[in-house]
Amino acid sequence: MDGALYLTLALALALVLWLLWRRRRGRSTLRSQTAEERAFDSTLNAALAGLPVPIRAFARVKIADVLAPGRGDHRSDWLAEFAQLRDKQFDFVLCDAHSLAMLAAIELVRGGRRKRSHDVVVEAACQRAQLALLRFPAQRHYQQDEVRQALIEALPQLTQRKETPTLSPERQDEAKAEAAQAESSVLHLSTEELAARLGMRPMALIELFAKQGYLEWAEDGQMQLTEEGKRKGAVQWDDPDGGRQFQWSVRHRGQGSGQG
């Protein structure tokens, strides 16, 4: 009888420990940055601050969240490549600060290694997705000007500014009114709808918003809005099944772009 009781208690304890481990694993899936990554992160953000286009840098983004399998004649080949990439990460991904549209991926090359099959697959996948790919040697110190110049060369749109024609005072008033009307046009989108507009998976978008400080883990083990997320106009609610849903306020700009 005592043996059966001890066995039952041991199984119950094992179950509790497994549940705690699973919950902690869900809360913390990213390892700490290396010294080289921290050095590049600091230099990269300083370089981005000097550009005319606002860009956000996200660290350690899964390649599978950025490059989804394509369609068409080469889908089978791409699925084979995708299987090699699904557990890999980009060291950094650059996104438009307003729309979160992905602009470029960055990899740090460690130890002067030779080009591997992984590199060829990543290059082909990024080219197919029309995503700029930049590689920098992993080191303890970086030159801000060199990083900025590499970004400008890879993303020429960073320095392209549209010329604004001279308008009459009357037309200027009309233009201001039109701009105000466009600025006030706000869309309310679910996570799935916003992810579809950005060409992302919903879970990848949730991870980005968590890194951006709009979401955090709640005591019930689910994500919840932060005060910053609420200030951005987002709302949350629990559905009848106990799942948490979010709605995002996206400022509509022109044809299909948005701002959270």
From the list 71, 73, 37, 64, the residue with the least C-alpha distance to 121 is 64
Sign of the torsion angle spanned by Cα atoms 72, 199, 158, 184: positive
Structure tokens at 153: 């060369």
As a whole number, mean pLDDT of residues 175-186 equals 60
Is residue 244 very low, low, confident or very high in pLDDT (cuts 50, 70, 90)? confident
Quick: pLDDT tens for 19-29. Answer: 555 555 544 44
The burial class, CB within 10 Å (0-12 / 13-18 / 19+), for 123 is: middle
Instruction: Give yes or no for residue 184 having a pLDDT over 80.
Output: no
Residue 103: name the closest of 134, 146, 149, 62 by CA. Answer: 134
Give the pLDDT score at 112.
60
Q: Higher-confidence residue: 2 or 229?
A: 229
- Alpha-carbon span 251 to 254, nearest angstrom: 10
Average pLDDT score over residue span 158-181: 60
CB distance 205 to 223 below 8 Å: no
Task: Return the number of other C-beta atoms located less than 10 Å from residue 91's C-beta.
Answer: 25
Most confident of 62-66, 210-214, 240-244: 210-214
For residue 36, what is the enclosing H or E element? helix 35-49
Give me the numbers of helices (H) and strands (E) for the chain, helices first please.
10, 10
pLDDT at residue number 72: 47
Q: What is the mean pLDDT of residues 8-28?
A: 56
At 26 the pLDDT is 45
Residue 73: pLDDT band (50, 70, 90) is very low
Higher per-residue confidence, 233 vs 133: 133
State mean pLDDT over 208-225: 88
Among candidate residues 33, 30, 39, 32, the one with its CA nearest the CA of residue 137: 39
